Structure 1
Amino acid sequence: MTFEAAIFDLDGTLLNSMNVWEQIDIKFLQKRGLPVPTDYVVEICARSFEEAAQYTIELFGLSETIDDIIKEWNVMAAYEYTNNVKIQSYAMDYLLQLKSRGIKLAVATGLPKELFIPCLKNNSILHLFDVLCSTDEVRHGKECPDVFELAAKRLRVVPERCIVFDDVLPAIKSAKLANMIACGVYDKYSAHNQTEIEEIADSYILNFKQAPFPCKEV
């Protein structure tokens, strides 16, 4: 496997944060007297914040605007991301080893910068990344390759020499559409798609202790 850059999703991939969003989703819907559909978290996790808010409005027939919902989600999540959300097991060591090999690192996330920058700072890994990209900066969420293509462009690395780490099926499909190497990462919220992710991805890991390293020619 040959790559010059590694692009990382955050929620459920580099960050152990999906349980935070489950609790936020539950509280958000309970506040409105609404049940939490079993597939709700899975449905919104690959979408941008704007797309997730629009999906929520349409699903439940809410009267709030997209901006109102995003603001409420951000307020609910801000404290947790700033103080409590941690990186996944073995992730720090893997990032440091990639840096020592001269691999460029990027973030490609559906989170807004107001949430992920404090979180990366709190986990002492913000300085390791050469590029930070959010789906807020592009037209589509990770059901399309936009954010991955943006990361590659900013890194100045051709897509074929980039590896993408992500936990959700739509993102893995998009990484392949962008002609990038795709590595699926296990997360319990995406476990129902594990078989299909493994079929599409170039590799699949349960944790970053199993993550691949580039060939020596890089």
Structure 2
Amino acid sequence: MLNDIKAVLFDLDGTLIDSMSVWKDIDIEFLGNYGIELPADLQNSIEGMSFTETADYFRKRFQFKESVEEIKAIWNEMAYEHYTQFVKLKDGVLDFLSYLKSHNIRTGISTSNSIELVQGVLKAKEIEPYFDVVVTACQVNAGKPSPDIYLETARLLNVEPKDCLVFEDIPMGIMAGKNANMKVCTIYDDFSKNQDIKKRSLADYYINTFKEVLEGTYEVLMNE
């Protein structure tokens, strides 16, 4: 999987950290404050959107008077403690990051989350030094499945897209990596387990944990 790879690009939520369930709880609480029940289609509707795009979607769909920036600030405040105190790294992450560092393979985070939460969790988990760049989807023109975020991360790393490997946990993210002409490994996440068939149909590789990459026990998917 790592042959001829010069840079590894990671999604954050559901990929490096076990955090996807946090957002369902926040959405329930946030909407509940307005007397709104969580719509069944909400997660599918916002999948892949940037933090800013998601806030704008909420503002328009639920006709909130708050601005996009005000909604983002509320979400950051609601989520910060979860990210810095309770969210855990996915199994094998630290060993894999150490391997990449020791083999001079460049690394980047390409996330739909806010920069405040990304910086908070990286510092709290003491993995900030392992990453050369961090890019959020708010910094580019469009969220996933647009390739923008992965192309921008590769540009900042000064690595050609074809020499990059992406790790993602949801279909929109996988498509973003593939649309950027990069190889993509998808990882099991309990939150997206009902999408496993679709994830396997889109990605180049599949893992349950990052240990499988180092052990060479990952699954090669026949999607070429």
Name the counterpart of 2:160: 158
Deviation, 1:188, is 2.5
Alpha-carbon distance between aligned partners in 1 of 2:213 and 2:170, rounded to the nearest angstrom = 17
Name the counterpart of 1:24: 26
Name the counterpart of 1:95: 97
Alpha-carbon distance between aligned partners in 1 of 2:166 and 2:151, rounded to the nearest angstrom = 11
- Tell me the number of residue pairs that the alignment of Structure 1 and Structure 2 aligns: 214
Alpha-carbon distance between aligned partners in 2 of 1:38 and 1:184, rounded to the nearest angstrom = 25
Name the counterpart of 2:144: 142
Shift in CA distance, 201/213, structure 1 to aligned 2, threshold 3 Å: farther
Structure with larger RCO (C-alpha < 8 A, sep 6+) = 1
> How much is the aligned-residue C-alpha RMSD, in angstroms?
1.7
SS in 2 for 1:56: helix
Q: Identify the range of structure 1 (110-119 vs 153-162) with the bigger mean alpha-carbon deviation.
A: 110-119
Deviations 1:48-73 (A, max 9, x none): 01111122223323332212211111
| Match for residue 192 of structure 2 among 190, 193, 196 | 190
Alpha-carbon distance between aligned partners in 2 of 1:211 and 1:64, rounded to the nearest angstrom = 44
Name the counterpart of 1:58: 60
SS in 1 for 2:135: strand
- TM-score, normalised to structure 1, is 0.92
In the TM superposition, 1:95-114 aligns within 5 A as 95-114=97-116
Letter in 1 for 2:116: E
Deviation, 1:6, is 0.4
Deviations 1:102-137 (A, max 9, x none): 211111111222111121111111001111111111
Deviation, 1:45, is 4.0
Letter in 2 for 1:158: E
SS in 2 for 1:99: helix
Name the counterpart of 2:176: 174
Gap regions ≥5 residues in structure 2? 217-224
Q: Identify the range of structure 1 (80-89 vs 171-180) with the bigger mean alpha-carbon deviation.
A: 80-89
Alpha-carbon distance between aligned partners in 2 of 1:149 and 1:124, rounded to the nearest angstrom = 26
Shift in CA distance, 184/67, structure 1 to aligned 2, threshold 3 Å: same
| Match for residue 204 of structure 1 among 203, 206, 209 | 206
Alpha-carbon distance between aligned partners in 2 of 1:177 and 1:131, rounded to the nearest angstrom = 20
Alpha-carbon distance between aligned partners in 2 of 1:45 and 1:125, rounded to the nearest angstrom = 26
Does the Cα contact within 8 Å between 1:77 and 1:115 map onto a contact in 2?
yes
Shift in CA distance, 93/42, structure 1 to aligned 2, threshold 3 Å: farther
4+ residue segments displaced more than 3 Å: none
Q: Identify the range of structure 1 (33-42 vs 133-142) with the bigger mean alpha-carbon deviation.
A: 33-42
Does the Cα contact within 8 Å between 1:25 and 1:41 map onto a contact in 2?
no
- TM-score, normalised to structure 2, is 0.89
Letter in 2 for 1:198: R
SS in 2 for 1:174: helix
Alpha-carbon distance between aligned partners in 1 of 2:147 and 2:19, rounded to the nearest angstrom = 23
